[in-house]
Chain A
Amino acid sequence: SQTIHQWPATLVQPVGSPLSLECTVEGTSNPNLYWYRQAAGRGLQLLFYSVGIGQISSEVPQNLSASRPQDRQFILSSKKLLLSDSGFYLCAWSALLTPLHFGNGTRLTVT
């Protein structure tokens, strides 16, 4: 069966520090991978999605970036965090036309 791992679960980082969130999927190959951000009490904002290694589509221009160095690995990064980057970050995967399967999320607080 397929599983998705996302870490860390919580993170507190100062403004201006770098960020690296990692997501890996097991039990499937060539998945579509997604990063979403959710502000407190709000909906999910699509940040990036990827249909293959090295293929990244960015939905919202900001100081975040994403990379997919391996088929089942998706990384969200920032060189310098802003206060507005605080939120709940969710990684998800899907096969073509199937529902998204989410990781447990990372709660990021930028201080």
Chain B
Amino acid sequence: AQKITQTQPGMFVQEKEAVTLDCTYDTSDQSYGLFWYKQPSSGEMIFLIYQGSYDEQNATEGRYSLNFQKARKSANLVISASQLGDSAMYFCAMRDKTSYDKVIFGPGTSLSVIP
């Protein structure tokens, strides 16, 4: 069965520093996709980055990069040069081949950027 684990309920990072948010997943499929979303206090869900299980390169989008370690089933989000506006909840999500139409989310990590 699909499962997403985010073991860091809350994280603090100094402005301009990099931070890594952890995500591990469980699936028996070889074909799956991993996503990261940002949720500011306003509640909107903002898509950040996507990694396919067959992608050979780690995904990058601006200051966001995904450290994908397939054998360890981890897909950590790295935010470089943190900004005050990065303070938000961050969710890891997954869909796999068996249940392509179902997307499940992890419990989230609350990130606070300190000036």
Residues of A within 8 A of B (CB): 32, 34, 36, 42-44, 46, 49, 51, 57, 59, 88, 90, 92, 94, 96-97, 99-102, 104-105, 107
Given known A-B contacts A43-B108, A97-B95, A102 and B45 have beta carbons under 8 A apart: yes
Q: Are B95 and A46 in contact (CB under 8 A)?
A: no
Q: Are A46 and B102 in contact (CB under 8 A)?
A: yes
Residues in B neighbouring A99, C-beta threshold 8 A: 35, 47, 50
8 pairs of A and B residues whose beta carbons are closest in the complex: A102-B45, A43-B107, A44-B105, A99-B47, A43-B108, A105-B43, A51-B101, A43-B105
Q: How far is the CA of A96 from the CA of B101 in the complex (A)?
A: 7
Q: Which of A36, A43, A90 has the most chain B CB atoms inside 10 A of its CB?
A: A43
- Number of residues from B at the complex interface, CB < 8 A: 20
Q: Could you list 12 further interchain pairs (A-B, Cβ under 8 angstroms) beyond the known A36-B105, A100-B35?
A: A42-B107, A43-B106, A46-B102, A46-B104, A46-B105, A51-B101, A92-B103, A96-B100, A97-B95, A99-B50, A100-B37, A100-B93
Residues in B neighbouring A43, C-beta threshold 8 A: 91, 105-108
Partner of B102, one of A57, A102, A104: A57
Residues of B within 8 A of A (CB): 33, 35, 37, 43-45, 47, 50, 91, 93, 95, 100-108
Q: Can you list 27 A-B contacts (CB < 8 A)?
A: A36-B105, A42-B107, A42-B108, A43-B91, A43-B105, A43-B107, A43-B108, A44-B105, A46-B102, A46-B103, A49-B102, A49-B103, A88-B43, A90-B45, A92-B45, A94-B103, A99-B47, A99-B50, A100-B37, A100-B45, A100-B47, A100-B93, A100-B103, A102-B44, A102-B45, A104-B44, A107-B43
